Structure 1
Amino acid sequence: MSEAISPRAAATPSAKPPLHTADPAHDAPAAPARPEARKKLFTLLALTVVAAAVGVFAYEHFFASRYVSTENAYTAAEMAQVTPFVGGIVREVRVSDTQAVRRGDVLVVLDDTDARLALEQAEAELGRAQRRVRGYVANDTSLAAQVIARDSDRLRAEAQLASAASDLERAKVDLERREALSDSGSVSADEVTRARNAFQTATAALAAAKAAAAQTNANRAAALGQRETNATLIADTTEAANPEVVLARAKRDQARVNLERVVVRAPVDGVVARRAVQLGQQVAAGTPLLAIVPMGQVHVDANFKEGQLDKVRIGQPVEVESDLYGRSVVYHGTVQGLSGGTGSAFAAIPAQNATGNWIKVVQRVPVRIALDPKELAQRPLQVGLSMTATVDTRAEARGGQRAEARANTSAQ
């Protein structure tokens, strides 16, 4: 007898979910998905590479190519070397290294004993020169009177000469008359002798009168010469403008300046460095005492490679970073000038490239960069700090082109 199977019981085995088995027919469409994804990835990678290359090219061509940069840059300044103009013993030293000073501040004081004595001597020389010039003026009046007296002597000598000539003529006539009468016996021999003696005396008197006249002429000429000599010392000048007084006054002023120079003052604002002077030291004129670094006038000497300078011009803007403050602080400056030669050309031992084997070495040219004084005042820089300088070669040079144009015009 067959058992009846209920519909619920018959449906129970078929109601159980079948176990999952690999069905090749069902999984076949999923196989091509990997190559497509790989293709998309390669395409995306290629586009990324192309975009990066285009970006790098655009950056290099349109942005990076306009800048030249170097880390071979250092701060520098035109340091003021303080030296005394006069020698002496150091009496006071009022500054020390790293001390900030202002222009005109007293740095060193020398002993002023010798300078004061020199000033007193110069003042005495000036007074003597003034009195000497007054003597020249008074002597001119005296010499003028001497010339007048010599003129009178000359006139008297000429009169005496004329008188002596007349006496000689009379004595000659008298002698001739006596000699003519002596033959007839009208005149005695004694009278003839007296007449001959009178003639000889008159002759001698005439010679003496001539000598006296010559002497008076010579005395007059000497007096005139003395007056002319004295006149040249005071001609076309006053007492104050006389050369001797001017010279003495200049020496007095020089002595006064030397007395003021015993006090050595700061020539510029800055910081004291390399102080070598000590109290009680004997220093000579020109001896280096100390140096002053003008902190407000610090510039940057950037040593660019020679291949970087083809587009660098005077006046182009520069951004400068300091290792002291880091990249957060950027100084702004301009190209002030390029050196006249490379660093090796001015080295103590320049390279001798004409000997031995030769290897090309890229040379560097110092470029001076002027910094903004306001930025320096906010963040001072010491001399010798390492810097990074970047020049914008495509920017318009501020003042550089005008300076070059003026230089070219003056050269033409």
Structure 2
Amino acid sequence: MKKKITVALAAIGIVAMGAGGARYLKNDTAAAVVQPSAPIVTELARSETFTVRRTDLRFTVPLAGTLRPVDQTTLKSEVAAKVSEVLAQEGQPVKKGDVLVRLDTEDLTSWLNERVANLESAKAQLALAEKNRSMKLSLQQKGYAAQASVDEVESAYRTSQANVRAMQAQVDLARKALENAVVRAPMDGFVSERAVSPGDKVPVDGKLAVLIDLSRLEIEAPVPTNEIALVAVGQMAAFRVPGLEGREFTGRVERINPTTKSGSRSIPVYIQVENGDKVLRGGMFASGDIVVREIRNVVAVPPEAVRGDQSQRYVLKLDGDRVARQPVEVAKDATATLVAVASGLSEGDTIVSAPSIVLEPGTPVRIGSR
């Protein structure tokens, strides 16, 4: 009997424990359902966002061409002579008036002396003709000389005058030739080519040297005919030169050719470049852009950051730690990298710039360090 009572009590205890466990499990499940889950935060890389700023928009036409000196001269001999001395070497800087080449003056001096002697002879003949003329005129006034004899001495006098003038011209020419035997630089610049050496014989108009001025250069850049209407004289250009990395140079549109270049559908545009430090050289290749229009101080964002269609444009703007859909009015002015925003954004706003990222408004976000 005692054994039966013990078994009954044990069974009652097991039932009680089961009931208590059931209550515990029920309460624990309810707690799990009530507890809210943590929101999922989307992390954005800094490269996937853009801080709105004010900037200048530049609309450009690409340029590419070769630099060449604006002022360049080929020095040629004005007399036929032998080269006695060459004082300029290729690459040497020279000043206006510096002696570059000396020609042999022996023959030129002899020629000058001969012309001077001829001039003196002509002057002596003129003096005699003038004396005869004066005598005949005096006799004519007294009635002792016929008109024919007077005319004869008058003609001889005028002929002598003409001979003196002719001989004087030859003397001047010989003296000028002697002066031209010393060839001087007509401007400041650099010797780019030396065409003669001492002992060479050069004819009249023979090439002696080439002198260039590097202070002003010019780029001849072909512009396609479908873009030439955008280019105008006075517009600025920015360009770079291989080998001078890290430097950007500027120039100005000086002239526009009225016709297309032969064999192409492009029109040459000439861009003048000031080269005060002489770092640019003739023959260097230049590439860059002509600034055909510029809009200053506008709010601008990357074009890929603007979403929606023509009827409703918007950007994903970071509002605190969440994303908001911000309507914007996009202006017509746009470059390849920036588009102007007329309204809807302010300087300093942060927006999502990566077009592949799609986020619903209110999504929690944070910007990572990468």
Q: Deviation at 1:379?
A: 4.8
Query: 1:74 matched to which residue of 2?
Result: 66
Q: Residues 296 and 380 of structure 1 are in contact (CA less than 8 Å); yes or no, is this contact kept in structure 2?
A: no
Please name the residue that 2:134 is paired with: 141
Give the alignment of 1:206-221 within 5 angstroms: 220-221=146-147
Deviation at 1:342, TM superposition (A): 2.4
| Structure 1 residues 232 and 304: CA distance shift in structure 2, 3 A | same
Q: Which has the larger radius of gyration?
A: 1
Specify the code of the residue in structure 2 equivalent to 1:365.
I
The alignment partner of 1:304 has SS state of strand
CA distance in structure 1 between the partners assigned to 2:24 and 2:102 by the alignment: 114
Does residue 321 (structure 1) correspond to residue 264 (structure 2)? The answer is: no
Contact residue 147 and residue 223 of structure 1 kept, 8 A: no
Q: Is contact 1:324-1:385 (8 Å) kept?
A: no
Tell me, what secondary structure is at the counterpart of 2:194? coil
**One-letter amino acid of the structure 2 residue matched with residue 224 of structure 1:** V
Residue of structure 2 equivalent to 1:224? 150
Residue correspondence of structure 1 range 3-402 to structure 2 within 5 A:
63-64=57-58, 66-70=59-63, 72-77=64-69, 78-144=71-137, 147=140, 151=143, 220-230=146-156, 232=158, 242-326=161-245, 328-344=246-262, 351=263, 363-372=265-274, 376-394=275-293
The CA RMSD measured in Å over matched residues stands at: 4.4
Residue 249 and residue 18 in structure 1: after superposition, are their counterparts in 2 closer, same or farther (change >3 A)? Answer: farther
Q: Which amino acid in structure 1 is aligned with residue 270 of structure 2?
A: R
Between the aligned residues of both structures, percent identity stands at: 22
Distance in structure 2 (CA, Å) of the matches to 1:17 and 1:67: 78
1-side partners of 2:21 and 2:36: how far apart? 29
TM-superposed deviation, 1:253: 1.9
Q: Using a 3 Å threshold, how does the CA distance of structure 1 residues 393 and 230 change in structure 2: closer, same or farther?
A: same
Q: Are the counterparts in 1 of residues 221 and 270 from structure 2 also a CA contact under 8 Å?
A: yes
8 Å Cα contact 1:83/1:289 also seen in 2: yes
Question: Match for 1:63: what amino acid?
Answer: L
Question: How many aligned residue pairs are there?
Answer: 279
The 3-state SS of whatever aligns with 1:69 is strand
The CA deviation string for residues 170-220 of structure 1, in whole angstroms up to 9 with x for no partner, is xxxxxxxxxxxxxxxxxxxxxxxxxxxxxxxxxxxxxxxxxxxxxxxxx83
Aligned amino acid, residue 142 of structure 1: M
Task: Sort the Cα spacing of 1:110 and 1:291 in 2 relative to 1 into closer, same or farther, 3 A.
Answer: same
Which ranges in structure 2 are unaligned for 5 or more consecutive residues?
296-370
Maintained 8 Å contact 2:129/2:153: no
Q: Which amino acid aligns with 2:196?
A: V
Contact 1:302 1:389 in 2 (8 A): no
Q: For 1:17 and 1:79, locate their aligned partners in 2 and report how far apart those are by CA, in whole Å.
A: 105
In structure 2, the CA distance between the partners of 1:279 and 1:318, relative to structure 1 (3 Å rule), is: same
Quickly say closer, same or farther: Cα 1:390–1:30, change in 2 above 3 A. Answer: same
Contact 2:256 2:270 in 1 (8 A): yes
Q: Aligned partners of 2:248, 2:222: CA distance in 1, in Å? A: 19
Residue 295 (structure 1) shift: 1.0
What displacement does 1:128 show? 1.9
Pick closer, same or farther for the CA change 1:136–1:18 going to 2, 3 Å.
Answer: farther
Greater helix share, structure number: 1
Distance across 2 between alignment mates of 1:313 and 1:125: 62
Local SS of the residue matching 2:135? helix
Question: Greater CA deviation, 224-233 or 72-81?
Answer: 224-233
SS at match of 1:294: strand
3-state SS of paired residue (1:329): coil
> SS in structure 1 opposite 2:146?
helix
In structure 2, what residue type is equivalent to 1:377?
A: G
Residue 367 of structure 1 aligns to which amino acid in structure 2? V
Asked if the contact 1:97–1:273 (Cα under 8 Å) also holds between the matched residues in 2, the reply is: yes
Whether the aligned pair in 2 keeps the contact of 1:300 and 1:368 (CA below 8 Å) is: yes
Q: Is the 8 A contact 1:75 1:382 kept in 2?
A: yes
Matches of 1:119 and 1:281 in 2, distance apart? 22
Provide the residue aligned with 1:175 in structure 2: none
Q: CA deviation at 1:292?
A: 1.6
By how many angstroms is 1:81 displaced? 0.8
Using a 3 Å threshold, how does the CA distance of structure 1 residues 247 and 380 change in structure 2: closer, same or farther? farther
Deviation of the 1:363 alpha carbon: 1.4
Higher strand share: 2
Could you tell me how far 1:143 is from its partner in structure 2?
Answer: 2.2
- 1:147, CA displacement in angstroms? 4.3
- Structure 2: which amino acid aligns with 1:113? E
